[in-house]
């Protein structure tokens, strides 16, 4: 329904917003000491971040502050306990 309402040009605008906001978020997150953005593949609106702590604990602390930080990959992938999948959409605000 959403895509039919925004149309072809609207879809292009949404895609451009997602890409631009994701690259902005990657730059800001990568500037945090001890945190690194994994650059193993091109980014549309999702990317992986390596944290200096357990990603599940980090997400829990962020939720307590009203922030949906991402998805802790260690829940499903052994050895990736410090990795977080971050998704950015057209609705994501710049901080």
**Is residue 93 within 8 Å of 28, Cβ to Cβ?**
no
**What's the pLDDT at 91?**
81
The full 3-state SS of the chain, as one line of letters, equals CHHHHHHHHHHHHHHHHHHHHHHHHHHHHHCCCCCEECCCCCCCCEEEEECCCCHHHHHHHHHHCCCCCCEEHHHCCCCCCCEEEEECCCCCCCC
Rg of the chain over all Cα atoms, to the nearest angstrom: 15
Q: Domain 2-87 - what CATH class? A: alpha beta
- Tell me the pLDDT tens digit for each residue of 31-57: 999 999 998 888 899 999 999 999 999
Best CA proximity match to 90, nearest among 11, 31, 26, 9:
11
For residue 64, pLDDT over 70 is answered with yes
**What's the pLDDT at 94?**
67
pTM: 0.85
Percentage of the chain modeled with pLDDT above 90: 77
- pLDDT mean over 65-87: 94
**Domains of the chain by residue range:** 2-87
């Amino acid at each position: 329904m959403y895509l039919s309402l925004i149309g072809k040009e609207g879809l292009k605008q949404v895609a451009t917003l997602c890409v631009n906001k994701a690259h902005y978020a990657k730059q800001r997150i990568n500037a945090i000491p001890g945190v690194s953005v994994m650059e193993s593949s091109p980014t549309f609106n999702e990317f992986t971040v390596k944290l200096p702590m357990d990603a599940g604990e980090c997400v829990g602390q962020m939720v307590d502050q009203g922030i949906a930080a991402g998805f802790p990959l260690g829940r499903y992938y052994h050895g990736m306990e410090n990795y977080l999948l971050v998704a950015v959409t057209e609705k994501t605000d710049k901080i």
